[in-house]
Amino acid sequence: MRLLLIRHGQTPDNVEGKLGTVAPGVGLTDLGRRQAEALPAALADETIGALAVSTLVRTQLTAAPLAAARVLSPTVLDGLREVKAGDLEDRSDTEAVSAYVGRVFAWASGDLDARVPGSEDGHEFFARYDAALAELVAGGERDGHRTVAAVSHGAAIRAWVGSRAVNADDEFIRHHLLENTGVVTLEGTLDRGWRLQTWQGLPVGGAELLDLDAPDPTGESY
């Protein structure tokens, strides 16, 4: 199975460097909408047979152009949502951002007991994210699809890939940015595991869709 993990388009929170994870969340900026509109052409060579999104509206808006182009009805899976910020929600200060992304790196290194203040730990995060992707992949296999895709979130994608891909780890995700509409491609199965194939950290529509001024803490390299 080929699995594409697509980060959502730019949001006002990304521009402000704010941790916003409560559903339904904010929508897309004008740039974010252009990034989403670029997805169908950028992924034209991918034979995507099933598409999933999270309960946060930014993933649904991002997926809409791709879904329309492929005549797909995205499945909404709550487990694909962003790492929940808890007590750090709506903060953009260095202390809060460091605490938040630090938990993501800790989980990828194997420290699943690390907890986002007032929120989930690694055990809880991976339980829901694994279950969501398992549902997507199992459905794709059942329907005979070779490729499935999920539009998800920066910290969540990085945490999952850093832990679940056999050829990635916490150091890899720490030093690889994942800008809005960046795409991570993996090959594997639910039983045998996953191997990272490509990490497209920049917007797939091209450099003109990159915002160099946005703090965007969950997409930056550290």
d(CA 215, CA 123): 28
pLDDT, tens digit (0-9, with 9 covering 90-100), for 21-46: 999 999 999 999 999 999 999 999 99
Q: What is the mean pLDDT of residues 106-122?
A: 98
Q: Which residues pair with 152 in a beta bridge?
A: 7
d(CA 45, CA 2): 13
Structure tokens at 209: 């869709």
Q: What is the CA 105 to chain-centroid distance, rounded?
A: 15
In terms of pLDDT, which residue wins out, 205 or 28?
28
The CATH-assigned architecture of domain 2-208 is 3-Layer(aba) Sandwich (3.40)
Q: What is the mean pLDDT of residues 120-136?
A: 98
Give the model's pLDDT for residue 207: 85
d(CA 219, CA 153): 9
d(CA 13, CA 89): 11
Residue 169 confidence (pLDDT) above 90: yes
Cβ neighbourhood burial of 92 (10 Å; 0-12, 13-18, 19+):
middle
Q: Is 8 marked active-site?
A: yes
Domain ranges of the chain: 2-208
Q: What is the mean pLDDT of residues 104-128?
A: 98
Three-class secondary structure of residue 212 per DSSP: coil
| Average of per-residue pLDDT values in the chain | 97
pLDDT, tens digit (0-9, with 9 covering 90-100), for 46-80: 999 999 999 999 999 999 999 999 999 999 999 99
Confidence of residue 222 (pLDDT cuts 50, 70, 90): confident
d(CA 166, CA 129): 17
Give the model's pLDDT for residue 128: 98
CA atoms within 13 A on the CB side of 173: 30
Q: Which of 16, 37, 82, 187 is catalytic?
A: 82
* DSSP annotation string for 49-82: EEEEE-SSHHHHHHHHHHHHHHT--PEE-GGGSP
Dihedral pair phi/psi, residue 87, rounded to 5°: -65, -15
Give the model's pLDDT for residue 191: 87
Three-class secondary structure of residue 140 per DSSP: helix
Q: Is 82 marked active-site?
A: yes
Give the model's pLDDT for residue 31: 98
With a pLDDT cut of 90, the percent of the chain lying above it is 95
- Enumerate residues 6+ apart whose C-beta is below 8 A from 124: none
Residue 190 confidence (pLDDT) above 90: no
Give the model's pLDDT for residue 174: 96
Q: What is the pTM of this model?
A: 0.97
Contact 76, 102 (CB under 8 A): no
Contact 161, 6 (CB under 8 A): no
